[in-house]
Structure 1
Amino acid sequence: MKRETLFLKIVVFLMAIPVLALCIFLLPGIAEFFAELNPSLDFLQYPFLIGLYVTAIVFFAALNQTFKLLSYIDKNEAFSELSVRALKNIKYCAIIISALYVVFMPLLYLMAEVDDAPGIILIGMVIIFGCLVVTVFAAVLQKLLKSAIDIKSENDLTV
């Protein structure tokens, strides 16, 4: 089992690298590009950039919780309250990211309208939908794990 969790930990780490690179190198350029495209809305450049950085921070928090969950599995503590808490935190992170993108959809619409690039709206919708899928999946796993912990504790008390 440690081999599989090691693979998943590496995947989590590899998921973080492109987002970190995007935050450092690409996001400031995107915000400047938005300000140049629509000079009347250039005051939204920094709120847009801050929102994207907040989204990245929440994403890294979710990856951290995923890493913790994999560590609990390595330590044979998968059926513990710590795992349930990690899943709950992952669920909340996905909800926050989805809500942030719902709030920023009007800005994405303005960017797409000015640049005539409807793909930007599609990317925003995919992120919202993906986060909602992660939210539902984490909620189902959380309930399943909680019921398994309850059954385990009942069996421990019976014996």
Structure 2
Amino acid sequence: MKKYGVNALRFSVALVGLIILLLCIFWLPQMARVSAEQNPEYAYLRYPLLYGLYITTIPFYLGIFHTFKLLNLISKNTAFTVDACKSLGRIQIYTIIEIALYFIGMVFLNLNNALHPGIFILGLVIIFACFIISVFSSVLKALLTKVVEIKNENDYTI
């Protein structure tokens, strides 16, 4: 892959990470406050939901970190290594953790009769996106593992 392609991917991943960080710092607390003022019967859920959403950013940023590690391997032309397989495996694990956290959060909201249909749809979209990323990284890891095995066999043969 050309250098500008990898740099464009790095920029895109960094931009997504920065946007999520800015939303978590500025927009999310404001929305929690406004939501608690507009719906005082659910005001007690303000901080548990806010902290729950902050917890979901941990596996998200760990996944972004491993994406950067993978992009660094690609830029160094060492993409067909065990390290790349490990990064893909960790990305898959973090997306599964993300799915579990959002599922638990939606169950929690449903038990408190606070699961708004818009929140439910947004949660399903996030879960579906994480599922797609998890399946994609799983398939890539399986293919990359096979390629690394073939590469190692060829290296031993020569």
What is the TM-score of this pair, normalised by structure 2? Answer: 0.89
Q: Deviations over 1:20-62 (max 9, x none)?
A: 1110111112222343344444333222111111111221111
Comparing 51-60 and 41-50, the one that deviates more: 41-50
Checking the alignment, whether the CA contact within 8 Å between 1:79 and 1:145 is kept in structure 2 is yes
CA distance in 2 between counterparts of 1:127 and 1:37 reads 25
SS of 1:110's equivalent in the other structure is coil
Tell me how far 1:156 sits from its aligned partner: 1.1
Give me the identity figure in percent.
Answer: 43
CA distance in 1, matches of 2:34, 2:82: 46
Task: Give the Cα–Cα distance (whole angstroms) in 1 for the partners of residues 20 and 75 of structure 2.
Answer: 26
- Give SS of 1:78's match: coil
Q: Which runs of 5+ in 1 are unaligned?
A: 113-117
Say if 2:49 is the partner of 1:48: yes
Number of corresponding residues:
154
- Mapped contact 1:2–1:74 kept (Cα < 8 A): yes
- Give distance in 2, aligned partners of 1:30 and 1:58: 22
2:124 is aligned to: 125
Q: Which amino acid aligns with 1:74?
A: S
Specify the alignment match of 1:103 in structure 2: 104
Q: Write the distance in 2 (CA, Å) between the matches of 1:34 and 1:91.
A: 33
Alpha-carbon RMSD across the aligned residues, in angstroms, is: 1.7
CA contact (8 A) 1:34 1:111 kept: no
1:69-127 Cα offsets, whole Å, 9 max, x none, are: 00000111101111111111111111111111101114276151xxxxx2221111000
Distance 1:155 1:149 in 2: 10
1:77 corresponding residue in structure 2: 78
What is the rounded CA distance, in whole Å, between the counterparts of 1:29 and 1:120 in structure 2? Answer: 17
Cα pair 1:62 1:94 within 8 Å, conserved: yes
Q: Which residue of 1 aligns with 2:140?
A: 141
2:17 counterpart residue number = 16
2:95 counterpart letter in structure 1: A
Partner AA of 1:23 in structure 2: C
Distance 1:144 1:131 in 2: 20
